[in-house]
Amino acid sequence: MQLTELSAWQLGDLIRKKEIRALDAAEAVVAEIKTKNEKLNAFLSYDEAVIRSQAEGVQEKLDAGQVLSPLAGVPMAVKDNISTRLYPTTCASDMLQGYLPPYDATVIENLQQAGAVITGKTNMDEFAMGCSTETSFRGPALNPWNQGHTPGGSSGGSAAAVAAGLSWYALGSDTGGSIRQPSAYCNLTGLKPSYGLVSRYGLIAYASSLDQIGPMARSARDCAAVMDCITSQDSKDSTSSDHSTAFKASCYEATTGFNISLKGRKIALPEQALAQVDPAVRRAVSETAAVFKDLGADIVPFDLPYQDASVPVYYLIACAEASGNLARYDGVQYGRQPDNGHEMDLTAFYEHNRSAGFGKEVKRRLMLGTFVLSSGYYDAWYLKALKMRRMIIDSYNEMMRGIDAVLMPVTPSAAPPLYQHEDDPLARYISDTFTVDANLTGRPAIAFPCGINAGGLPVGAQLTGHLLADDILLGLVHAYQTQTSHHEKRPSSARKGEPA
């Protein structure tokens, strides 16, 4: 049996039943990371000794009879914008090289209590701004399905790590699609939870009203098990929801039994979204609708509200919030400093630190964000974007009455070649067309594999649901995954022991 081919849930089961030891799983994953990471660039940091000592600690607790969680002892990876005391947290930026947080994010505390073994921190776009990991200070991660292509972004390192068998699941963050888009590009299931369900404490902020942490894994069942571990009401995050206890109860059922009936469920399919995408994506998503129909769901028509406005509204709001959030990287509170800082006046000091520390895309967004918040332009841009956001939220509330979920593509195409749109930011932003609405409305959305295109690259579908009904989305995708095997396909580079 090859451990790296199991799902997180299956591996956790073997560890719980003492059929294998947590250290065996840790050794298997260390061997894979050592053979493949240099090429794939999925991890920015990992440490064999730290991985082994966590596994030993978990095993001791299990041997002492402690009940931890279904995922105890299962090695997992964390995106590099989630604060950890075990490893540096750099947001893939020169600005934060070497920064070791003095505290753990709430999700990390929750995972450690659940017996997680953290393998390392994964590559990403700088400060989570991007859709390819190309803006990472340490260079892009590669897609294990085809190394000439992007694994997606911004949580691309997490996706590459799980797809290539370098971890059984990973945490990502999703501000406008960064969990779902790389999951789709790498044949994974990834959930952007409802806003407030998972604590953001310790997540380095990009755009606080849109950011959420969530799971990326090989199935909906694995995602449910991860959600069961990371969800909690947290007094350190003022937007944290009190729904977490109820949610965890249904998630636990989800990971143990999980039988949601699709009879009478209504799944909406917006034809206008299908008209805008590659034929292979259109075909795969239409076939997904047919599977849901066979399972007993009614497929009903739907018009995505204000679709042309979504991407501009998202970028205006995200950049405006980022310009405030990233003001703290000035070389005094956080961030790099020059050796000769004492010779500069304060303005020159800030200017030097921020010019040298941030990459091109981050600077572009901070300038846009500062501009739309400045007096004289605020009403015309930022305020208008806020009003449009309200209209998008209201339309979804109205149109989703009586509908359980909206089915659509995750992206217009499968993973593009690396650096395809290097000099054309607008072309890159357009690929977020189908993902940003979930963040603007706070709704949960899940990406899941639904086929492989003629070029051998995975294609994903997406379901968007009702606020705090994330368990329904997990249940619907689990039902789909019991009927199909797309999610079980692995890239050939994931074979054990072979270099990537």
Q: Which residues are catalytic?
A: 79, 154, 178
Query: How many positions of this chain bind ligand GLN (CB under 6 A)?
Result: 13
Q: Which stretch binds ligand GLN (CB under 6 A): 36-44, 62-70, 129-137, 381-389?
A: 129-137
Q: Name which position in 174, 228, 237, 471 contacts ligand GLN (CB under 6 A).
A: 174
Which H or E run contains 124?
Answer: none
Number of residues written out for the chain: 500
Considering only 22, 42, 86, 131, the residue that binds ligand GLN (CB under 6 A) is: 131
Does residue 433 bind ligand GLN (CB under 6 A)?
Answer: no
Contact 392, 303 (CB under 8 A): no
Is residue 321 involved in binding ligand GLN (CB under 6 A)? no
H/E stretch holding 86 reads none
- Give residues 203-232 in contact with ligand GLN (rule: CB under 6 A): 206
Q: How far apart are CA 448 and CA 220, in angstroms?
A: 8
For 494, the token pair is: 């994931």
In the list 176, 202, 335, 359, the residue contacting ligand GLN (rule: CB under 6 A) is 176
SS3 of 461, please? strand
Shortest Cβ distance from residue 217 to ligand GLN (Å)?
18
Three-state secondary structure readout of 139-156: CCCCECCECCECCCCCCH
Taking Cα atoms as reference points, which of 4, 353, 385, 411 lies closest to residue 184?
411
The residue whose two tokens read 């034929």 is 279
The window from 34-42, 122-130, 333-341, 374-382 that contacts ligand GLN (CB under 6 A) reads 122-130
Q: Which is nearer to ligand GLN, 6 or 438 (CB)?
A: 438
Name the closest residue to ligand GLN (Cβ).
178
**CA nearest neighbour of 414 among 451, 387, 359:** 451
Residue tagged 């007993």 (tokens): 296
Task: Evaluate whether 98 touches 137 at the Cβ level (below 8 Å).
Answer: no
Question: Does 175 engage in binding with ligand GLN (CB under 6 A)?
Answer: yes
Among 45, 143, 146, 154, binds ligand GLN (CB under 6 A): 154
Find the shortest distance in angstroms from Cβ 13 to ligand GLN. 32
| Integer Cα distance of 76 and 58 in angstroms | 13
**Nearer to ligand GLN among residue 54 and residue 132 (C-beta):** 132
End-to-end CA distance of the chain: 20
Of the candidate residues 12, 73, 120, 130, the single one contacting ligand GLN (CB under 6 A): 130
Q: How far is the CB of 212 from ligand GLN (least distance, A)?
A: 9
Note the helical H segments in 297-414: 307-325, 346-357, 360-373, 384-399
Look at residues 157, 180, 265, 155 and name the one whose alpha carbon lies nearest to residue 461: 180
| 159 interacts with ligand GLN by CB under 6 A | no
Query: Applying CB under 6 A, does 318 fall inside the site for ligand GLN?
Result: yes
Cβ 500 vs Cβ 144: under 8 Å: yes
Closest distance of CB 115 from ligand GLN, Å: 28
- Least gap, CB of 110 to ligand GLN (angstroms): 21
Report if residue 322 touches ligand GLN, rule: CB under 6 A: no
Smallest separation, CB 116 to ligand GLN (Å): 23
Q: Which residues bind ligand GLN (CB under 6 A)?
A: 128-131, 154, 174-178, 206, 318, 432
